[in-house]
Structure 1
Amino acid sequence: MGFLRTLFWIAITVVVVVFSLHNWTSVTLDLFGGLAADAKLPVLLLIAFLLGFVPLYIYHRVQRWRYQRRMIDPARIPPVPAPPPAFEPTIPPEPF
């Protein structure tokens, strides 16, 4: 299974490198106040990807940590309530 995972990451890396080499062009960004910035297209795509990925990844890791902490810590498990008393029908006394 580790071999397939490594092969997958190598294939992804090759695709990204080939994409970057074919699209290595300068892009002009118009910023506020009449400023302009030149950046390479693959760098902008990487920054955009990370801006979307990193906050969600951090949220996922925090939630996973909370759930694991809840499952491990027995003090946080609420006690099981006692069962209600069994119903015992009462027989009314016989009238005289």
Structure 2
Amino acid sequence: LERSLEPLSSLDVILIPVSSRHPKAIDSNIIKLAAISSNIVTTQDFETVDEGLKYSLEICSGRDLILATGSLSVVGEVSEVLNHIAPEIYPNLP
């Protein structure tokens, strides 16, 4: 995970760790710890993408860029929130 975060360490970023609802998603706390060990400024971790996105919108200013990345699941969940789409739920998956 640290290797995936490496490109961010040279940028002026604030990482907002979130957990996707996909069954194979990495827990947001694990992402937070990896970011901290990579010397990336990190906020609290969020249990859902929705919570993390709302927080990012609260703290950003006019010229800030919000980049949702990590997996297609995270990007899809951000799209659901921004476009007011009902969440895709996986009831038959663990």
Q: If the length of structure 2 is used for normalisation, what is the TM-score?
A: 0.21
The structure with the greater share of residues assigned to strand is 1
Structure scoring higher RCO (CA < 8 A, sep ≥ 6) equals: 2
Q: If the length of structure 1 is used for normalisation, what is the TM-score?
A: 0.21
The structure with the greater share of residues assigned to helix is 1
